[in-house]
A = this chain, B = another copy of it.
């Protein structure tokens, strides 16, 4: 009985995933190749599929199978237990919200995105404020319906980082905030004294693509099961068990921009390509959390891609492709790609200052959700806190509290995962390098043993384990910021 209910549940899950992956193709196409005129019809297609996914995910048949499988007396193996845990979590998440709330949230986000875009362009927060108020009300109602232990923010954070507790994340962030600020200040000061030696000349796009592709292949990205395209906002999307697509964007005068973009997205892509294929379409076939996913992108972007061994191999090749680099030596190049500068804009910031942007957002998000900052007071709170962190005040809200799309999409609770990803990346890299084979290969610019370590300890488990269990099994302890701090000190001080 139990085996049958479980199998039936898995079949339903795979059908739902098939529709989700179809949405993935439509979404990818929309960002890459779809002609402008296609946008309205595409929205209808996505709405239909999304409605069908919701219908199938919340059906009484799904519920019956789930209950029967949970109540089955047969011994459940590790994978089966993990799938049931996640089936239950997802089913509760989906069914605790009434359809009217789901629709209200979707409509509010659509309107908010439009208002946000105009608001940001005009640097006029008052255009976005009423929308944000509505989104906050909806977020609070969702949190109430989902339930939480300590504070509403827990319920939202859990959307992105399974089983994370706000208070624990906050304690972790608070514990390193002063040190992060010190490192950033010192790194910026030192960088101001050293010039960027990479010539500000033209790097033809096709040659950038050539270099990026060689590098992505070298770190193990499988182009038989993936590809790289061009979009305004880079992303990685897994749209099938053997189909993982990255995108990047190109600056004609800075080849490192697209390259680090590709390394970042390829880090996500390597994780997707390493997920357990036989579990595709079931929860265990998926990644563990955003904080784990981001650890993989940051690992390849920063710990590999900005390292000395990496460029001892790739600088000569880059010099072949781009003759204007020929006069650069390895030290000068490394100093140039590892400079730190304060920036108003998170997505343009470097490793040394990035986390300060996140800590700012996490704090403000938590306080606007619990009401201790009113929506209309966000610009002032943002600017004064930014001044404290970075020693400068955004000239306008477009370069301040309006810069990110996350809130306009209703994505409260998301930002923390970026810094959790940085912590996890450093911790996993540190642990992997304790394996002598991984370390000695790394130092000879062979990163495949590092990839294999991640395959074994992270990728192949999918979401069998909750994020903190996974990190602990892989590295011996739960997420610990110290490795990231050590890494930043070593890189910048």
Contact = CB atoms under 8 A, between A and B. Distances in A.
Interface of A: 15, 18-19, 21-22, 25-26, 29, 33-38, 40-42, 44-45, 48-49, 222-227, 229, 239-243
A362 to B, nearest CB: 37
A35 B241 contact: no
Given A19-B48, A35-B226, A35-B243, 10 more contacts: A18-B45, A18-B48, A21-B41, A21-B45, A25-B29, A35-B242, A36-B224, A38-B240, A41-B240, A41-B241
Contacts of A25: 25-26, 29, 45
A116 to B, nearest CB: 25
Given A29-B29, A48-B15, A227-B33, A242 B22 contact: no
Contact of A18 (B36, B37, B44, B229): B44
Contact of A37 (B15, B33, B224): B224
- The secondary-structure label for the interface of chain A is helix
A434 to B, nearest CB: 34
Contacts of A243: 34-35, 37-38, 41-42
Contacts of A226: 35, 37
A298 to B, nearest CB: 25
Nearest to A15: B48
A47 to B, nearest CB: 9
Contacts of A35: 223-227, 242-243
A206 to B, nearest CB: 10
Nearest to A22: B45
A307 to B, nearest CB: 29
A261 to B, nearest CB: 19
Contacts of A229: 33
A18 B38 CA distance: 13
A41 B227 contact: no
A213 to B, nearest CB: 13
Given A29-B29, A49-B22, A42 B227 contact: no
Contacts of A227: 33, 35
A131 to B, nearest CB: 28
The 5 closest A-B pairs by CB, nearest first: A37-B242, A38-B243, A37-B225, A41-B240, A37-B224
A99 to B, nearest CB: 19
Contact of A22 (B22, B38, B222): B22
A12 to B, nearest CB: 13
A312 B42 CA distance: 41
Nearest to A33: B227
A265 to B, nearest CB: 15
B22 A26 contact: yes
Interface centre among A26, A45, A240 (most CB of B within 10 A): A240
A39 B83 CA distance: 26
